[in-house]
């Protein structure tokens, strides 16, 4: 019988997503013994999973509960097959992205601060903030306090499953979408990564939703940030090291751009890091995929992979094949 190790903290009802005919073995970083398993469903928290790994024996297949798997190969080595949870968190991450874009364009952080101060007249600060970040110094009557998403140009860097879901959710806003994918394609049109610098000046909003690899490290650095329009919004729902944090801090402090980050580099972000205090910035602590349905969605994908594995069928979400 196939022995499947799973995070001990999972509630029992989500395990129903896994196929029958397997032996389920709870594992955790608190174990005081070793466990012999064939398949490991990893804890969604990498540091906890990395502490669990030394207690596991016999693992041939790793099933991640996350779409990102960058920490796993270095932990388990090359002799284990690794599958991502591709598709499990598309909707949740796309909803976070859309919410982050609207939050910054509608200046909700400022209005929340105004609410807490109980001072209605402070709403004029929104007009001042709009003029500063947009560079639009014209006199508007009534004053401009919010921006429209409708009609803007959105560049999606990483047009995979989540990128496509983000585009679907953006459709009602009639935005112009530019796409960057690993490979150029015609339908829908997607540009290669080599075209990124020619596309950045065209975008009002840039969404990063691509895997972190050595090739994508600091994909957004000082030269790329300098290409952005005054007041452009950079949204990172991918991984922190895709953006050079020092360069981002400089651009934010200069009042050139806005940013919404669910990920940072370093992560967790230290309390004394200057990024916390940058203007025109929204930070959430890597919770973009969070949902009451997170575990069930992840185990549904893992369960499908397990069924294929048990039937000798090709796995769908392989990011590393064992050598």
Return all residues near 140 (Cβ < 8 A) that are at least 6 apart.
127
In the residue annotation, 122 being an active-site residue is answered as no
Handedness of CA 17, 300, 171, 143 (dihedral sign): positive
Evaluated on CA atoms 120, 123, 124, 125, the torsion sign reads: positive
56/35 Cα distance (integer angstroms): 5
To the query of whether residue 267 is one of the catalytic residues in this protein, the response is yes
Q: Which three-class secondary structure string do you get for 252-268?
A: HHCCCCEEEECCCCCCC
Q: Three-state SS for 208?
A: strand
What's the number of CA atoms in the CB half-sphere (13 Å) around residue 144? 16
Question: 70, 267, 296, 307: which one is catalytic?
Answer: 267
Closest CA to 248 of 219, 268, 287, 272: 219
Confirm if 222 and 250 have CB atoms less than 8 A apart: yes
- Residue 250 backbone phi and psi in degrees, to 5: -60, -45
Which one from 159, 191, 258, 286 is the annotated catalytic residue?
Answer: 286
Q: Of 159, 179, 191, 239, which is the active-site residue? A: 239
Catalytic residue set: 239, 267, 286
């Amino acid at each position: 019988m196939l022995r499947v190790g799973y995070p001990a903290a999972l509630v029992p009802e989500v395990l129903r997503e896994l196929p029958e005919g397997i032996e389920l073995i709870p594992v955790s970083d608190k174990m005081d013994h070793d466990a012999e398993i064939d398949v490991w469903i990893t804890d969604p928290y990498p540091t906890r999973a990395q502490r669990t790994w030394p207690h596991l024996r016999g693992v041939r297949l790793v099933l991640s509960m996350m779409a990102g798997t960058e920490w796993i190969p270095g932990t388990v080595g090359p002799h284990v097959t690794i599958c991502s949870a591709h598709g499990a968190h598309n909707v949740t991450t796309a909803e976070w992205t859309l919410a982050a874009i609207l939050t910054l364009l509608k200046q909700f952080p400022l209005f929340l601060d105004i609410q807490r101060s109980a001072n209605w007249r402070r709403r004029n600060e929104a007009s001042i903030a709009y003029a500063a970040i947009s560079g639009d110094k014209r006199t508007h009557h009534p004053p401009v306090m919010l921006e429209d998403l409708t009609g803007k140009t959105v560049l999606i860097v990483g047009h995979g499953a989540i990128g496509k879901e983000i585009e679907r959710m953006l459709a009602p806003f009639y935005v112009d979408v530019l796409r960057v994918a690993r490979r150029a394609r015609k339908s829908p049109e997607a540009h290669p990564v080599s075209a990124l610098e020619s596309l950045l000046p065209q975008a009002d909003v840039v969404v990063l939703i691509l895997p972190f690899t050595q090739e994508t490290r600091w994909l957004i650095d000082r030269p790329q940030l300098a290409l952005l329009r005054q007041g452009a919004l950079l949204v990172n729902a991918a991984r922190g090291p895709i953006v050079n944090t020092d360069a981002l801090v400089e651009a934010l402090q200069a009042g050139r751009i806005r940013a919404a980050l669910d990920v940072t580099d370093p992560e967790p972000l230290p309390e004394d890091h200057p990024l916390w205090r940058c203007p025109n910035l929204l930070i959430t602590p890597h919770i973009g995929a969070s949902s009451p349905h997170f575990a069930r969605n992840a185990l549904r994908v893992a369960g499908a992979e397990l069924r294929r594995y048990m039937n000798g069928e090709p796995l769908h979400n392989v990011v590393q094949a064992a050598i």
